[in-house]
Amino acid sequence: MNDGSRWVDGAIARNTGDGKFQASIRTAGIEILADEPLSVGGNGSGPSPYQMLAAALAACTTMTVKLYAERKGWPVTHVETSVEHSRQNDLDPADCFTRRIEIEGEIDTLQKARLMEIADHCPVHRTLTGGARVETLSADAPSRPMSASDHAVDMEALISVGRGSFDFTE
């Protein structure tokens, strides 16, 4: 059984036995519950996996936009990102994440437009739009060391080295 010690950046989820879907998730030294809504047979005791994915995109976007504004010295006082998840229809089953970003502060139209562009470069957005690889191993498979992928380091690196279109000279 994995106690989480080999995971540099990840999570462990276990069914709780309370209801059909409820899972206990351990990550970043805390424990949270995931579940499905009552309407589909869950307990409604926590966010669904897609709500957590939407939350990850919202959080990453907010952090990245605020970090970029601070690096530029722009007076952004508040960033709020909301994300909704949906599927178009049975003919187009692609998942869609609709993101709305509110930026407050004494910034001009060009600065705001640049911050909206920067939002597309947050690490979670890049993961969702670029496609990630998922490797599945059985619990008794030999452990492979995981690379450190600290989210704050990823955001700093994207901005500092100009990965993508992060360029502070613009």
pLDDT at 146 over 90: no
Q: Is residue 140 a part of any domain in this protein? A: no
Residue pLDDT, tens place only, 79-123: 999 999 998 777 777 889 999 999 999 999 999 999 999 999 999
For the chain, the domain total comes to 2
Specify whether 8 is located in the same domain as 41: yes
**Does 65 share its domain with 38?**
no
Residue 36 shares a structural domain with residue 61: no
Which of the listed residues 27, 46, 65 is the one where a domain comes to its end?
46
DSSP secondary structure string for all residues of 64-113:
HHHHHHHHHT--EEEEEEEEEEEE--SS---EEEEEEEEEEES--HHHHH
| β strands within the chain, DSSP E | 12-15, 23-27, 30-34, 76-87, 95-105
Do 77 and 95 fall into the same domain? yes
Same domain, 98 and 167: yes
71/65 Cα distance (integer angstroms) = 10
- Look at residue 104 and tell me if it is in a domain: yes
